């Protein structure tokens, strides 16, 4: 199976951890010092309005944006200074906002790039890997030789997730996977994410609103203006969320 990598973290430590990580863009602080602990087989849901710092946190975990302060640890190894392409090999795959497909390439080309991103020790045979992808996303088999730009929004998102899964991540990071999708496409994407969660893949999902994804091992974080306003092993109510999005409420 490609959904869950064979490596496991020691029971005494988180799989992925951010310690006092902050992010700046020039003179603008996008994320105040923030802690995050992702346990094996868990779901971490990060909610917040636009500009809350959600994507900055995710990109910093993936190495696409440098941390201003703090450190990031994966499986007990400090990866704060490790570049993004090496973090993929170590077990962090990012599905970026905006589908993340590689334009002018076919669906097949995108999938091959994902498969080649996996470290040899965790890489399944190519055909077996594709069979698993087609089990999760049957439509991609029909689109293999199409330019990825000809796909629908939902199909593009499926392709982006499939490419991330082929890298055999220990942790899958997803930045607003429902953004711009029709309700039916969102339902299909989250049906697959639910299946992956049940199979034990650790995921960190950024969204602006609550998602249709139940999990018994979940942490929900709400960010506002770069600060953590809520951190609980359950989701806030609609009333709590509205208050938190207005910047009110207590920090954890």
pLDDT in tens, 143-179: 999 998 899 999 999 999 999 999 999 999 999 999 9
Tell me whether residue 80 is in a domain. Answer: yes
213 DSSP 8-state letter: -
User: What is the domain range of residue 91?
Assistant: 16-245
User: From edge to edge, which strands make up the β-sheet containing 69-74?
Assistant: 28-38, 16-25, 69-74, 77-78
Q: Minimal CA–CA distance to 153: which of 100, 210, 211, 207? A: 100
Would the pLDDT of 86 be above 70?
A: yes
CA 92, CA 86: separation in Å to the nearest integer? Answer: 9
CA triplet 81, 87, 89: central angle to 5 degrees?
A: 140
Phi, psi of 31 (to 5 degrees): -145, 120
Q: How many domains does the chain fold into?
A: 1
* Band (100; pLDDT cuts 50, 70, 90): low
Looking at residue 210, its pLDDT comes to 77
CA 46, CA 203: separation in Å to the nearest integer? Answer: 11
Tell me whether residue 78 is in a domain. Answer: yes
Q: Contact 34/71 with Cβ under 8 angstroms? A: no
The pair of structure tokens assigned to 109 is 């080309």
End-to-end CA separation in angstroms for the chain? 38
pLDDT digits (tens, 9 = 90+) for 30-74: 999 999 999 999 999 999 999 999 999 999 999 999 999 999 999
Tell me whether residue 189 is in a domain. Answer: yes
Q: Contact 174/161 with Cβ under 8 angstroms? A: yes
DSSP letters, 24-65, are EETTEEEEEEEEEEE-TT-EEEEE--TTSSHHHHHHHHHTSS
Tell me whether residue 1 is in a domain. Answer: no
Alpha helices in 84-144 (DSSP H): 84-90, 107-117, 126-136, 138-142
Number of Cβ atoms within 10 Å of the Cβ of 6: 10
Query: What CATH code is carried by the domain that includes residue 79?
Result: 3.40.50.300
Looking at residue 94, its pLDDT comes to 96
Residue 74 DSSP SS3: strand
The pair of structure tokens assigned to 124 is 């399944």
Tell me whether residue 72 is in a domain. Answer: yes
Q: Minimal CA–CA distance to 242: which of 72, 48, 93? A: 48
Would the pLDDT of 8 be above 60?
A: no
Tell me whether residue 100 is in a domain. Answer: yes
Tell me whether residue 5 is in a domain. Answer: no
Tell me whether residue 97 is in a domain. Answer: yes
């Amino acid at each position: 199976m490609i959904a869950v990598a064979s490596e496991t973290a020691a029971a005494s430590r988180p799989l992925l951890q951010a310690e006092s990580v902050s992010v700046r863009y020039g003179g603008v602080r996008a994320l105040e010092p923030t802690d995050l602990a992702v346990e094996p087989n868990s779901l971490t849901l990060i909610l917040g309005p636009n500009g809350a710092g959600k994507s900055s946190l995710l990109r910093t975990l993936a190495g696409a944006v440098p941390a201003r302060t703090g450190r990031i640890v994966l499986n007990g190894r400090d990866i704060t200074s490790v570049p993004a392409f090496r973090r993929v090999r170590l077990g962090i795959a990012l599905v970026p906002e905006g589908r993340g497909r590689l334009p002018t390439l076919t669906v097949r080309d995108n999938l091959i790039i994902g498969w080649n991103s996996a470290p040899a020790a965790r890489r399944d045979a190519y055909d077996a890997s594709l069979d698993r992808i087609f089990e999760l996303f049957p439509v991609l088999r029909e689109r293999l030789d199409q330019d990825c730009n000809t796909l629908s929004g939902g199909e593009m998102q499926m392709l982006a997730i499939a490419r991330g899964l082929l890298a055999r991540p220990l942790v899958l990071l997803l930045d607003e996977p429902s953004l711009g999708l029709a309700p039916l496409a969102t339902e299909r994407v989250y049906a697959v994410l639910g299946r992956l969660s049940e199979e034990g893949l650790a995921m960190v999902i950024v969204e602006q609103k609550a998602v249709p994804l139940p999990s018994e091992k979940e942490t929900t974080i709400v960010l506002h203006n770069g600060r953590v306003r809520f951190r609980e092993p359950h989701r806030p109510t609609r009333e709590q969320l509205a208050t938190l999005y207005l910047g009110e409420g207590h920090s954890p």
